[in-house]
Chains A and B, each alone.
With several copies, the nearest count.
Chain A
């Protein structure tokens, strides 16, 4: 393998050196527990305060509306179960979509087994919800709309502002899973009328195992993890100080470099799409042509299967994914690709390539040169392909 080309930034990102540098002192020297009142404890507490402030700034929130968690999945679980159980006397109906991340979908399914009703909105061929269908789904028992900001597989970005305004008008809590959007799209929770928002550090060049939940002041929510008085009594557990410090730094960097990040990834994305579409036939681009994450490319190649495509690319040093990272170990075709109306065999032939800050133009050139050959080789082997 001569070259290593990582194109799986939506699965996870490498941490930036600046982030690691800020974290390092907190492992072995400034190792205190923020709940302790002595010098070590105060030093740790201050570090958490700085990080919280950076995150709040990055989303236009107040400091005391940002709560650290152990990741994006925990944030999703907390938001949905926490709202559901705290507001069940008001109603038991939740609205979501068919293309949510499993952290949202499986949580909703769990609630369905426990007395809640969930409506799963359809999406069109580009992965967009229909705001009218959303309006019609609302009943007087609806307590929560949980609707992802941007999709992790096909990159489609939903009309969050419209949804937020609708939720506000109807007096329904609005949670958005912004794990993929945060750091790739400008987000202001007030402008967009978001009540709760999940984010995760490892998707924005920060550490794994840290996330956050934005909770608008006044929102009625139960805890998911009970115990000590951390996070203003809402999320127990000794704080992951280095992780939180790293998340803060990553968020700050993301905001400082947002424009160049977007233009860099968008231009490489467009180059990759154009290059492949020109050289390969029987291929389509999944997701929305315009309203999509800057670094997201998702192809469906007919007549071949995703895993053998991934394996072949991996042998060439190219790291991609088919469907979401969480499910690429699974054998089912992605629920997102099914929801946008792909047939089973085409869904099976999907390939996600996601671009990030460290992606270089020559990486894209390499993929444009190699990928068509791989597709061709596999098609030659396929009983479905007639030349």
Chain B
């Protein structure tokens, strides 16, 4: 059901771990839904020089976290903010329909970490003005008949 790319990122996730004294840390998801993503950023001169993650969640949650860290590493904060879940899905060669929301979680984890960075830096980042790190972006949209 998963693409090879997903399975590769799931089995060999990039950038697993934590960053001590990270410049931004974001956590999204909730235990009740069975998914939590935590993202750590090291930012120097507006450039994301290092990124790590820890994820409790399904295979797709782990794979999206992994690829998301690859996609923002070395990028500017502004470029990282442009990361969409759609781009994440494409980079993984697609996700099953009921797993697309996991990619939303990855996008939100990056945003949450950047939001934390902006608060620490006391700056306002374009696009994060209305960001609410506690919002539940995890909608399982069950349609039991």
- Interface residues, chain A, with chain B CB atoms under 8 Å away: 37, 42, 45, 106, 223, 233-234, 303-308, 311-312, 315, 329-333, 343-345, 348, 380-384
* A382 surroundings in chain B (CB, below 8 A): 54-56
The listed residue (A304, A305, A332) touching B142 by CB distance below 8 A is: A332
**Cα–Cα distance between A344 and B34 once the two chains are bound (Å):** 7
**Cα–Cα distance between A386 and B59 once the two chains are bound (Å):** 21
Number of A-B contacts (CB under 8 A): 76
* B57 surroundings in chain A (CB, below 8 A): 305, 308
A37, A42, A307, A333 — which one has the most chain B CB atoms within 10 A of its CB?
A307
**Cα–Cα distance between A291 and B55 once the two chains are bound (Å):** 36
14 pairs of residues in contact across A and B, judged by CB atoms under 8 Å: A307-B59, A308-B58, A308-B62, A312-B10, A332-B140, A348-B31, A380-B16, A381-B16, A383-B27, A383-B36, A383-B37, A383-B55, A384-B31, A384-B56
Q: How large is the interface on B (under 10, 10 to 19, 20 to 34, 35 or more residues)?
A: 20 to 34
> A233 contacts B143, CB within 8 Å?
yes
**Cα–Cα distance between A305 and B57 once the two chains are bound (Å):** 5
- Interface residues, chain B, with chain A CB atoms under 8 Å away: 1-2, 7, 10-11, 13, 16, 27, 31-38, 54-59, 61-62, 98, 140, 142-145
A303, A329, A348 — which one has the most chain B CB atoms within 10 A of its CB?
A348
> A383 contacts B16, CB within 8 Å?
no
Given A344-B34, A383-B38, residue A312 in contact with residue B1 (CB < 8 A): no
> A304 contacts B56, CB within 8 Å?
yes
> B59 contacts A223, CB within 8 Å?
no
Closest-by-CB residue of B relative to A345 is B31
* A305 surroundings in chain B (CB, below 8 A): 34-35, 56-58, 61
> A233 contacts B145, CB within 8 Å?
yes
* A330 surroundings in chain B (CB, below 8 A): 142
* A315 surroundings in chain B (CB, below 8 A): 7, 11
> A303 contacts B31, CB within 8 Å?
no
